[in-house]
Amino acid sequence: MLSAFLNCFKIPELKKKILFTLSIILVYRIGCYIPTPGVNGAVLTEWFNRSEGTIFGIMSLFSGGAISKMTIFALGIMPYISSSIIMQLLTAVFPALERLAKEGHAGYQKINQYTRYGTLVLAGVQSFFIALWLESPGAFQGMEIVNDPGWGFRVITVLTLTTGTLLLMWLGEQIQERGIGNGISLIITAGIISNAPEAIRNLFLLLSPKTAAARQIQPLTLIIMVFFLVAVIITITLITQAQRKIPVQYARRIVGRKVYGGQSTYIPLKVDTSGVIAIIFAQSILLFPATVASFIPNPGLQKFASFLLRGHWPYYLLYSLLIIFFCYFYTAIVFNPVDVSENMKKHGGFIPGVRPGTPTADFLDFVMTRITLAGAMFICIIAVMPDAIMATFKVPYLIASFFGGTGVLIIVGVMLDTMKQIESHLLMRHYDGFMKSGQLKGRR
């Protein structure tokens, strides 16, 4: 594998793509330290360190900690992700958008333009409410976050944060066009990995010999955690790439003197179709009451919110049920067995032992329902794993988050996609890939 990495820099085109991608990521990380005018970043960071259980913790994860300092990239790329998910939902609901999506590259460009407009609207609305939230001392237990509140601060905050999100969207598209890998996913991954040095530092502080009397982690425990981390990464890799291959046979057709068809292929059905999206939806819904309760001092609302906090069994039960629901919901949106069946029938394809048309659609729906359940159960285990690590090894959430949850799923999936693209360049130039036998498979 090391020789494959070295070979990447022997191909001029691939070397240029990799260096361009790294330079864009460097620009993103520099922007995560440019503060928004009028915000006391030190006080805000202190408050965020005590607010890991709210929806702002999710936003901080996807922004690489930029929102905890309220920098120009505080919103991160989340408005673009939300706009993309909304467009996917609308495409499945409105026939006009569905027809547009089937028009090929031109339709894709049009839908992508609508997604950009949606990003602009969502970023503007979110940044305005963030400005109002920053001006409210009651939301921060009396801490003064804004030095000079008012409409001047609100306008500057909206312009700064919205422009930062649009710049991130543009940087991601530049990686997509001129770099290597998925630009948006790489930006999110870079933000998550940026928390690793702080997590490692905290881990060594817990192992420090100077505090032997109060040592929270023993060396043997650390070894167990390392083996556990390797096992989690291997398992996520296997499930991410797992497929159920449905064999498809195409009938022979004679047109003039030529024979078409007759070949065999397969339909790859992903075990984990939704990926990290199901966890994001479930966390957003489940943590929303706790976030609202922190703003509104209502006893009834606060009691209901405390009922859904981490550490209580209703939280984990509802969390798992929501993840399973959104796994099926998202799979139903992105995979339509009726369309697949009609396309196969139109081109003379059939599944051996299954009649074309409605029986084929029913068979594909039956198979997809069963394998989605396995993927959803796996996602549930990964989602609650950081909490189990916290309870078992008595470590902070920042350390436990690298042993499961949203961050690990994103990192592993994005790395697989990026390595697959690099490997395709290597094999095209007759170099060895990252694996001696077989090839890497991306999430898609």
pLDDT digits (tens, 9 = 90+) for 382-415: 888 887 787 777 777 777 777 767 778 888 888 8
Q: What are phi and psi of 322, to 5 degrees?
A: -65, -40
Cα–Cα distance, 205 to 375 (Å, whole number): 37
Quote the pLDDT of residue 336.
Answer: 85
Taking the mean position of all CA atoms in its chain, how far away is CA 93?
23
257 vs 193, higher pLDDT: 193
Amino acid letter, residue 392: T
The mean pLDDT of the chain is 80
Domain annotation covers residue 198: no
| E-strand stretches of 347-402 | 349-350
35 vs 398, higher pLDDT: 35
Range in 23-32, 87-96, 407-416, 435-444 the model is least confident about:
435-444
Domain annotation covers residue 184: yes
pLDDT above 90 coverage of the chain, percent: 11
- Does position 440 have pLDDT exceeding 70, yes or no? no
What pLDDT, in 10s, does the model give residues 338-349?
888 888 888 778
Domain annotation covers residue 32: yes
* Domain limits for position 186: 1-190
Q: What confidence category does residue 61 fall into, taking pLDDT thresholds of 50, 70 and 90? A: low
Quote the pLDDT of residue 441.
Answer: 55
Quote the pLDDT of residue 188.
Answer: 84
133 vs 321, higher pLDDT: 321
Quote the pLDDT of residue 136.
Answer: 76
Average pLDDT over residues 345-357: 84
pLDDT above 70 coverage of the chain, percent: 80
- Does position 163 have pLDDT exceeding 90, yes or no? yes
Cα–Cα distance, 289 to 126 (Å, whole number): 18
Quote the pLDDT of residue 160.
Answer: 92
Domain annotation covers residue 122: yes
Average pLDDT over residues 167-182: 89
Crossing angle of helices 406-428 and 219-241, in 10° steps, is: 60
Domain annotation covers residue 108: yes
User: Torsion angle, CA of 413/414/416/417, rounded to 10 degrees?
Assistant: 120
- Does position 212 have pLDDT exceeding 70, yes or no? no
Quote the pLDDT of residue 339.
Answer: 86
- Does position 148 have pLDDT exceeding 90, yes or no? no
- Does position 166 have pLDDT exceeding 90, yes or no? yes
- Does position 308 have pLDDT exceeding 70, yes or no? no
Cα–Cα distance, 400 to 221 (Å, whole number): 13
Taking the mean position of all CA atoms in its chain, how far away is CA 140?
29
Q: What are phi and psi of 356, to 5 degrees?
A: -65, 165
- Check if the beta carbon of residue 273 is closer than 8 Å to that of residue 334: yes
Domain annotation covers residue 354: no
Closest alpha carbon to 126 in 69, 186, 83, 183? 83
Total number of domains constituting the chain? 1
Average pLDDT over residues 206-225: 70
- Does position 20 have pLDDT exceeding 80, yes or no? yes
Domain annotation covers residue 112: yes
Tell me the CA distances in angstroms from 259 to 179, 255, 344, one per residue in order: 41, 6, 18
Quote the pLDDT of residue 255.
Answer: 65
Q: Which tokens in the block code for residue 376?
A: 């959803």
- Check if the beta carbon of residue 253 is closer than 8 Å to that of residue 260: yes
- Does position 436 have pLDDT exceeding 90, yes or no? no
Assign residue 128 the CATH number of its domain.
1.10.3370.10
Amino acid letter, residue 376: A
Quote the pLDDT of residue 117.
Answer: 93
- Does position 432 have pLDDT exceeding 70, yes or no? no
Quote the pLDDT of residue 219.
Answer: 76
- Does position 250 have pLDDT exceeding 70, yes or no? yes
Average pLDDT over residues 361-381: 90
- Whose tokens are 């919901």? That residue is 329
Q: Which tokens in the block code for residue 101?
A: 């999506």
Residue 112 exposure: Cα atoms within 13 Å on the Cβ side: 9
Q: Is the pTM of this model over 0.85?
A: no
Q: What confidence category does residue 334 fall into, taking pLDDT thresholds of 50, 70 and 90? A: confident
- Does position 161 have pLDDT exceeding 60, yes or no? yes
What pLDDT, in 10s, does the model give residues 266-297?
888 888 888 777 877 777 777 666 666 655 65
Domain annotation covers residue 230: no
